[in-house]
Structure 1
Amino acid sequence: MKKLILSILCIISLSLSCLNTNAFASAYEDTDTWPQGPSVYAEAAIVMEASTGLILYEKNIHNTYYPASITKILSALLIIENSSPGEVVTFSRDAVFKVDLDSSRIGIDVGEQLTIQQCLYGILLESANEVTYAAAEHVAGNIEEFARMMNERAKEIGCMNSNFVNPHGLPDDNHYTSAYDMALITREALKNDTFRKIFGTRTYQIPPTNKQSETRYLRNHHKFVLKQEYNYDGTVGGKTGYTSKARYTLVTVAKRGDLELICVVLKDDSSSHQYEDTMKLLDFGFNNFSIYPIYELESVDVQKETPFFTRYNSMLDYANTSIKTDEKGYLVLPNTASFEDAKREVIFYPEAEINEGRNVIGKISYTYGGKYVGGADILFNNADTPKLNHYYVDRKEVQNNAGETNEDNPPDDDSEQTKSNGYFRPVITAIIVGFFVLVIGLYFVLVEMPRLKRRKAYYKRRAERKRYMDDNYLDL
């Protein structure tokens, strides 16, 4: 009876503990806060982390505004995707005279020829409107078709509040975008190595052409890239924009360590304020958030959570394969949070088609404070793996035995098969047992020990970061 009462009390205590834990978790979620960002002059602004798409700061990010020349980020991406660098662009009369003669130009004449590569530098560095027009004509045949391509590509990227009617961004009531959409477009463009290189170039030279005997010298308009007046550490690239209707628009990308931030400001009131706003917003992102490679923290746990009786499991499949998280996956969290604070969800795709090499069989995702803060694909590497070809071994032995039999005394099929199976059964059993012992040993050496090492390194970095935040420094 005493044992029964004790058991009941234990169950009640455990239940109350669970309730208290749930209540504490709910309270934590309710009081969970996101770092408060700075005030800016721009009417709309956003800071987005490039690898995850996480929004670190937002102000009117879905309201629509005229983008001006930051439109050329999407135009340049489309030109890169639909042409090759060496293609020759011949400038039409429309390209030269159908854009405002007082707008940004590099003085191209009708019939003059540039390569696509030269056009791209003219578009992204000097914001040349006639060059953008001509390159768009070259790619699509006419401006209307290129605008259709722009809107189609924007929708593929995930843009929700944009409409483009020209490639250069000169004023039109039907040409608009949002800070969020421009961040998405820039994030997509950064995946292209050609765009990324030109986007961060300070100066470029176009040699003499069929119409121009002198070299043209191009210079990036973005002051962070030029490192003049403003010098921001880690600047990757940027694009400026201005019209009387759009006012000042600016896209800037900066990277420190693995943390790469995209900052967009729209309808800022002055040239100086657009850079001041951008500096404050980027500082906010770098000072308040940290990025963690999921691969270093989760590979072991993902392997443990893989369904045991599946074709992915290395011990039950004939192929000894490996499961890990993608090295390109990252988790971004406020500095006030730790890795354990993020909620994790692991999803496996049971119907995933398995081919030789690398296969995506699932995804691991994280949320914090109701926001998606990162994720990574779960990979199954099916290449160059050792085999346990049971069928091949049994079949070979049977064939060898069959070749040694007397033709005058053909063996009884049933009795010979029974003998063969009986003879090899202990051998096969021993191989399987030995294999399991080997797998367990390798698991400890290759998985458990590195996991403990990674965990130790993580807590050490966390402790150092906390100590750095808590210390008071005197800068003399």
Structure 2
Amino acid sequence: MQNIKRSILCLFLAFSVVFFPTVVLGQTSNSNGPPSVEAQSAILIEQHTGKVLYTKNENAKSYPASTTKILTALIAIESGNLDDIITVSNEVNLIKSDGTKAGLHVGEQISLENLIRGILLPSGNDAANTAAVYIARKMYKNDKMSIDEALSKFTEIMNKRAKDAGATSSHFANAHGYHDPEHYTTAHDLAMISRQAMKYDFFREVVSTCLYSMEDPMLMDPKDPVKHQIRYWLNTNKLINEKDVKYYYPFATGIKTGFTSLAGQCLVSSASDGKLDLIAVVLNSSKDGKWTDSINLFDYGFANFEHYQLTKKGQVIQQLDIENHADNDNGILDIVTPDDLVDIFDKKDIPNMKRIIEIQSDIKAPIYKGQKLGKITYILNGHTVSESDLIAGRDMEKKSIPNLSDNLKKSGIHFGIKYWAVIIIVLITILFILIKIKNKRRRRRYWF
């Protein structure tokens, strides 16, 4: 009997797990909640504002592997000329044999444009070194700089540019990301660097390219000695590959993979649904986890966040009756916002948004358009999320002081210059006569 009861209980539990898993496990279903991320560190941001939407150990020291090349490509785009033709030199032989390569040859001539493709698509360490030497010599204006010195100078350039981008806890020791104990970053820092890179049209074009082909200038086609072999560069990012049934993500737009045994599986990726542009960073994940982590982060971002316009430029926040205004003015002044105020918010928080309007007291004319007259502050859950000045929407002149001429004109009396001259002469004459009469009276009083 005891065995029968136990069997029935087991069947009931099995049934419950299948059909009511949340009840048995004591969990609540929340499909829109933050995802479970396998990576040791991760971050999700909105690209344009830099707003952080999700974090997991985002400031933990991590090895970036080939995601380093995002920074190398960014510097090459900003500091180089895409049309420049670069001669590949011995820097391509300085990379480790187990590092990824674009297949460049010593003596090959290649445009910076294609060199950047070789950095970002097949993740070529050789291409990264070649770009580093070119940029260092160009920025220091020294074509004779040795390869070793140029590579060293380029790391200085990398570290400065990273700090300018908002990377506060990183140090880069090479242009390609091959492991070095002094070559490290964080998920947060990589997101800030990637945000800068995604501002450039060419960068976005390259990282969203699945396959790029070009002639290999140093190798001939064995089947046709007249033609060069074709070099194929396949993007290592599976999220943008439509043929990858398992990991293709239709909203994905880039960016870069990375892997070393010490860094683990890394991915910096971007996606856009037409409303939000997101950047996700996952560091030290698993081979499959770097894809699923990134997809889960994007799904979470798109499902839960949106652009919300707090105010529009020129929006009337309040109207005031102004004292001391000109007689021909109705005295009503629009208090407006100087700029659009837009931010990214969790959809469920938007109804809880509160605003505080502060207007200066004793506002009187004259007032000029754009004059600061107050402030508007937006509060969410007790914290200030945004604030903006409030300004005058137009000019307003002060009330003028009335004079005799104006009063006479209002009465219908108009005097020209000649009439004013006559009046002044008459007044002076009367004054002269009065003074003369007064003097005569004094003389008479003296003789008596």
TM-score under structure 2 normalisation? 0.65
How many angstroms apart in 2 are the aligned matches of 1:192 and 1:105? Answer: 24
Counterpart of 1:180 in structure 2 is 188
CA distance in 1, matches of 2:268, 2:47: 13
Q: Does 1:217 align with 2:225?
A: no
What is the RMSD computed on CA atoms of the aligned residues? 4.0
2:105 pairs with 89, 101, 109, which one? 109
Q: Relative to structure 1, is the Cα distance of residues 222 and 87 closer, same or farther in structure 2, using a 3 angstrom cutoff?
A: same
- Counterpart amino acid of residue 184 in structure 2: Y
Separation of aligned partners in 1, 2:81 and 2:390: 34
Q: Provide closer, same or farther for how the CA distance between residues 340 and 86 of structure 1 changes in structure 2, counting only shifts above 3 A.
A: same
333-342 vs 251-260, greater mean Cα deviation: 333-342
Q: Specify which structure has the higher proportion of strand.
A: 2
Question: Do the aligned partners of residues 55 and 115 (structure 1) sit closer, same or farther apart at CA in structure 2, a change above 3 Å counting?
Answer: same
Report the residue type matching 1:110 in the other structure.
Answer: V
State how far apart, in whole Å, the 2-side matches of 1:44 and 1:156 are: 22
SS at match of 1:111: coil
**Conserved in 2, the CA contact under 8 Å of 1:44 and 1:266?**
yes
Residue in structure 2 matched with residue 272 of structure 1 by the alignment: 288
Contact 2:101–2:124 (CA<8 Å) still a contact in 1?
Answer: yes
Which residue is equivalent to 1:300?
A: 315
1:234 is matched with 251
Deviation track 1:53-110 (CA, whole Å, cap 9, x = no partner) reads 121111101111000000111111100000111001111112x111112211121111
Distance 2:376 2:201 in 1: 27
Give the 4+ runs in structure 1 shifted more than 3 A: 293-296, 342-347, 361-381
Q: Compared with structure 1, are the counterparts of its residues 130 and 234 closer, same or farther at alpha carbon in structure 2 (3 Å cutoff)? A: same
Matching residue of 2:307: 291
Contact residue 82 and residue 139 of structure 1 kept, 8 A: yes
Mapping of residues 69-468 of structure 1, within 5 Å? 69-94=66-91, 96-141=92-137, 142-209=150-217, 213-227=228-242, 228=244, 229-268=246-285, 270-294=286-310, 296=312, 299-301=314-316, 304=318, 324-326=338-340, 330-338=342-350, 341=353, 368-369=380-381
Q: Deviations over 1:427-466 (max 9, x none)?
A: xxxxxxxxxxxxxxxxxxxxxxxxxxxxxxxxxxxxxxxx
- Using the alignment, how far apart are the partners of 2:235 and 2:375 within structure 1? 40
User: Which string of whole-angstrom CA distances, capped at 9 and with x for unpartnered residues, describes residues 20-57 of structure 1?
Assistant: xxxxxxxxxxxxxxx85122211001111112212111
Structure 1 residue 367, shift from structure 2 partner: 5.8
SS in 2 for 1:160: coil
Aligned partners of 1:332 and 1:374 also within 8 Å: no
The 8 Å contact of residues 367 and 373 in structure 1, kept in 2 or not, is answered as yes
Give the Å deviation of 1:293: 3.7
Q: Which amino acid aligns with 1:218?
A: W
Deviations 1:338-385 (A, max 9, x none): 2551557999xxxxxxxxxx9xx999875644777678899999xxx9
- In 2, are the aligned partners of 1:45 and 1:265 still within 8 Å (CA)? yes
Q: Is the 8 A contact 2:252 2:272 kept in 1?
A: yes
Q: 2:357 touches 2:374 (CA, 8 Å); kept in 1?
A: no
Q: In the superposition, relative to structure 1, how do residues 343 and 177 fare at CA in structure 2: closer, same or farther (>3 Å)?
A: farther
Q: CA deviation at 1:154?
A: 1.1
If the length of structure 1 is used for normalisation, what is the TM-score?
0.62
Partner-residue secondary structure (3-state), 2:58 = coil
- Whole-angstrom distance in 1 between the partners of 2:392 and 2:198: 27
Query: Secondary structure of the residue that 1:117 maps to in structure 2?
Result: helix
3-state DSSP of counterpart to 2:180:
coil
State the SS of the aligned residue for 2:250: coil
Letter in 2 for 1:283: D
Secondary structure in 2 matching 1:132: helix
Q: CA deviation at 1:160?
A: 1.2
Letter in structure 2 aligned against 1:83: G
Query: CA separation in 1, counterparts of 2:67 and 2:85?
Result: 24
Q: Identity of aligned pairs, percent?
A: 34
Determine which structure has the larger helix proportion and give its number: 1
In the alignment, what sits opposite 1:431? Answer: none
State how many pairs are aligned: 336
Whether the aligned pair in 1 keeps the contact of 2:337 and 2:389 (CA below 8 Å) is: no
**Matched AA of 2:204:** R
Instruction: Report if the CA contact (8 A) 1:249-1:274 is conserved.
Output: yes
Give ranges in structure 2 of 5+ residues lacking alignment: 1-31, 138-149, 221-227, 324-328, 331-335, 360-369, 398-415, 425-448
Counterpart amino acid of 2:298? L
Uncovered stretches (5+) of structure 1, i.e. residues with no partner: 1-34, 310-314, 317-321, 348-357, 389-404, 416-476
Shift of 1:161: 0.7
State the structure with more CA Rg.
Answer: 2
1:369-426 CA deviation, whole Å, 9 max, x = no partner?
A: 4777678899999xxx99x9xxxxxxxxxxxxxxxx99xx9x97x99xxxxxxxxxxx
Q: 2:219 touches 2:229 (CA, 8 Å); kept in 1?
A: no
Distance 1:154 1:372, change over 3 A: farther
> Distance between the aligned counterparts of 1:129 and 1:364, measured in 2?
51
User: In structure 1, what is the Cα distance between the partners aligned to 2:206 and 2:214?
Assistant: 14
